[in-house]
Structure 1
Amino acid sequence: MADAEDTTAGLVRLCVLAVVAGAGIGFVGGAFRWCLGHLDRWRVEMLGWVHDLPGPGWLIPIAVTAGGAAAAAAIVRLVPLSAGSGIQHVEAVDHGEAQPPALRILPAKFVGGLLAIGSGLILGREGPTVHMGAAIGATTGHRARLDDTDVRLLQTSVGGAGLAVAFNAPIGGALFVLEEVMKTVRLRAVVPTLVAVAVGVGCSRLVVGDRPDFLVGPIDPPSLELLPVFVVFGVLTGVVGVLYNRTILGALDAVDFMRNVSPVTKAALIGAFVGALLAIDPLTAGGGDTLSQRILDGGGALPMIAALLVIRFVAGPMSYATAAPGGLFAPLLALGALWGVLCSGVTELVVPGDHPSLRIALAIVGMAALFGAVVRAPITGVVIVMEMTATTTLAVPMLAATAIAVLIAHLAGSPPIYDSLRDRMLAGPRPPTALP
């Protein structure tokens, strides 16, 4: 009886702390999104201004992105743990393979993420937000004198709240913790996670509003005769997911091979390349939200879609290889939408009949299926895309395509991307991560 009371009291205490830490990542993550939104608009205005300039105005976006990447890399040299996504570190902490993140990574991730993503690198906001949430959760648990197990649990729960805040997807954020990070469903993990997510998303909506990330018009459920199309699409997407994982790891290996070049210089060179892409077309770089919305609005000729797919397939991993603070999810969703639209063009040539919603349907399904193939968290991918698009009529084809894509990636022997990134992190030099 006493053990039960201790367990209940411990759970209540975790939930109270989850409220405090959830509010913290809600406001911090909301502010991060708000700043990135303004930087995205500034970047578009800057590119418009540059195109009207006489002379080599294209050098300006090159300088801006190179400078942002270099400055972000300089921050990483000061705070090594702020590099990259940070989700792999959250997973390593949850598995007992690393120490929880200290609160000092919060300003490094915040400022470094704004410099990297705001300047145009193809990185997502979710990685920094998850890692900042984990740092807030771990620090809250440490200050409350929780034991190591509960500190890790709180850092993971509030990290999930960070993902929910990044995408305005509360259910997806909670599922990410249970399916991808903890890989278990226990009452002591579920309840604090749900509390942190609910409070975090509620607080962030006070800053950025509560509309879905993408506005999508009504979509009729695809007919059952099209289900084989989505199954084949899932097979192909699984192959693309395997190739994308290998491209990410290959880009990291290529940058690591340049041992005689400083990390800041390498980041600046990659940033200059991405800046040149921006000078050609703003949709070739950046996190990808604008591109995804354009696709979901029905825009884009197929040749342009194919070109953007190839460019971002290569430039996205290159951006991640800078080690600047930034994640993989948002660019991955844009890539999945591009892939879906490209496949819809081929499908319309070989499948008889008129299917007016197929283009948008495959774009949305492509987001979830490619996410599943790369991250290997299929339920999380499906739910996040549903929440971001406020669309449920595609549930059946989305589940079918995502399941097949995950199966193909598994059969190909390709590990989930965050498993690979975690292994790389643990094999390299370990930065000081212990809490103060």
Structure 2
Amino acid sequence: MKRFVLHQLPNEPKTYLSLLLASLASVVVITFFLQTSDYAQHLFKSIVADKPYLSLLITPIVFVLIVYIAKYFCHYVQGSGIPQLIAATDSRNKNIRSRLLSFRVALGKITFIFLGMLGGAPIGIEGPSIHIGGSIFYGFNRFIKLKRKLLIHGLIAIGGSAGLIVAFNAPIAGFLFAYEEIGRNLKKQALILIAIVSGIVYLFATLYRGNETYLSDMSNYSIDLLLIWQLVPLAILAGFLGGIFSKATLYLVNKFITHTKFRVITIALVLGFIVAIFNYLSAGQIAGSGREEVLLMLNAEKLGLDFVAMKYFATLTSLTSTIPGGLFMPSISIGAGIGSEAASFYPQIDVQIIIIMAMIAYLSAVIRAPLTSVFVILEMTATLNLLIPGLMVAFVANFVSKQIFAQPIYEALADNYLKLTER
């Protein structure tokens, strides 16, 4: 057993030193990225709250600028970044991995997310954080020069795990995400190294910036397990909406793929203007990740079905444009909106519980990683006591979504990157 465990770990001391340095660098860089992104989205919302019509000018221009530059100069920073990590671990081609993951890509991701937030794009920070983490860890391989495929792919998965841990202060979810999503094709032995370094990243993050929950401490809420069967219709609804979202996203992304500059600019302008209209109608409420709106709903403030609809279609439009941006937090905010509106049908269950369950169900339906969805939401709200109902709604929603579209959204997008990089 001892020999088996040691075989899965690097042999040279400098490798462990590099992993420690990469862990520390990821914590510092991603924390900076989160702070700048938060500043940018608050700045846009403060401007548009007073003068909503400015979004009709700012957002389309920013979309065109980002899409054009990313398309012709920094192609591999597009989207959330998670498909790039999956493609990198699926590929045996070193050249492909170097194009998808590098220090340069990490810098580009930080810059474009800042611009996107400043322009009112309804994007999240977790996918980009995962991409940045993966790029940093893989970038350090230049110094440690790992040669075994198991360790190289494990290194990429560690970086992705680190990104999620730092973004959401969710160590269990970070590790599970490396297993469920990034490392689907990894040998299970790699999980030993992933678990060790993920723990180190969490320790560094806690020491560097504290240990606060990402959303709100809801640990005082609980549910009678005899009532959890009532959550099945909510899980089915969230699963259906999440499945339709994923299918529509993949269809539209493939539909709008183009390589002529005129069409690239025209499509970006049109999609940016659609998002701008939603920003105008909501006075900027649908812009950004959606974290503030989730906090409002967890405090029992209703934002209405119009918020849910606008956030849903604005996020779909933004993803279709391929501008850099994450999917987790926008999906969580949509799920929170669904739960907030459905809560009136559950008089025996606290509103906050319904919202948490809806967030889990909808996120699971969209990303099709039920374990990650459960733990990231429960860790963000300090409600691990809700694990049983959370698992139930996640797997029900995941099953419903799978009937609508078989392939998970990130895997499908990763296939596109592999096709592009193999040309």
Normalising by structure 1, report the TM-score. 0.86
CA spacing shift, 1:401–1:19, aligned 2, 3 Å: same
Aligned 8 A contact 1:142 1:151 in 2:
no
Match for residue 147 of structure 1? 147
Aligned 8 A contact 1:372 1:381 in 2:
yes
**Alignment coverage as a number of residue pairs:** 414
Deviations 1:160-209 (A, max 9, x none): 10121121212211110012221378675234323433343444456654
Instruction: Say which SS state the counterpart of residue 84 (structure 1) adopts.
Output: coil
Match for residue 281 of structure 2? 280
> Amino acid of the residue matched to residue 285 of structure 1?
A
Instruction: Say which SS state the counterpart of residue 326 (structure 1) adopts.
Output: coil
Aligned 8 A contact 2:249 2:316 in 1:
yes
Aligned 8 A contact 2:247 2:404 in 1:
no
How far apart are the structure 2 equivalents of 1:309 and 1:430?
39
Q: Please say if 1:365 is aligned against 2:357.
A: yes
Deviations 1:328-386 (A, max 9, x none): 111111111111222223x24xxxxx4261x2211111111122222221111111001
Unaligned segments of structure 1, at least 5 residues: 51-57, 349-353, 432-436
> Amino acid of the residue matched to residue 102 of structure 1?
S
Shift of 1:103: 2.2
Map 1:86-125 → 2, pairs under 5 A: 86-96=81-91, 99-100=96-97, 101-125=101-125
Instruction: Say which SS state the counterpart of residue 11 (structure 2) adopts.
Output: helix
Match for residue 404 of structure 1? 396
CA spacing shift, 1:135–1:429, aligned 2, 3 Å: closer
CA spacing shift, 1:229–1:46, aligned 2, 3 Å: same
Q: Please say if 1:74 is aligned against 2:68.
A: yes
Match for residue 46 of structure 1? 47
Aligned 8 A contact 1:127 1:325 in 2:
no
> Amino acid of the residue matched to residue 238 of structure 1?
G
Match for residue 339 of structure 1? 338
Q: Percent identity?
A: 22
How far apart are the structure 1 equivalents of 2:109 and 2:156?
16
> Amino acid of the residue matched to residue 172 of structure 2?
I
Normalising by structure 2, report the TM-score. 0.89
Deviations 1:44-68 (A, max 9, x none): 2212342xxxxxxx44222222233
Match for residue 237 of structure 2? 236
Instruction: Say which SS state the counterpart of residue 321 (structure 2) adopts.
Output: coil
Aligned 8 A contact 2:14 2:144 in 1:
no
Shift of 1:15: 4.2
How far apart are the structure 1 equivalents of 2:6 and 2:218?
51
How far apart are the structure 2 equivalents of 1:20 and 1:187?
25
CA RMSD of aligned residues (A): 2.7
Match for residue 162 of structure 2? 161
Map 1:223-302 → 2, pairs under 5 A: 223-256=224-257, 261-281=262-282, 282-300=284-302
Q: Please say if 1:127 is aligned against 2:120.
A: no
Shift of 1:264: 4.0
Unaligned segments of structure 2, at least 5 residues: none
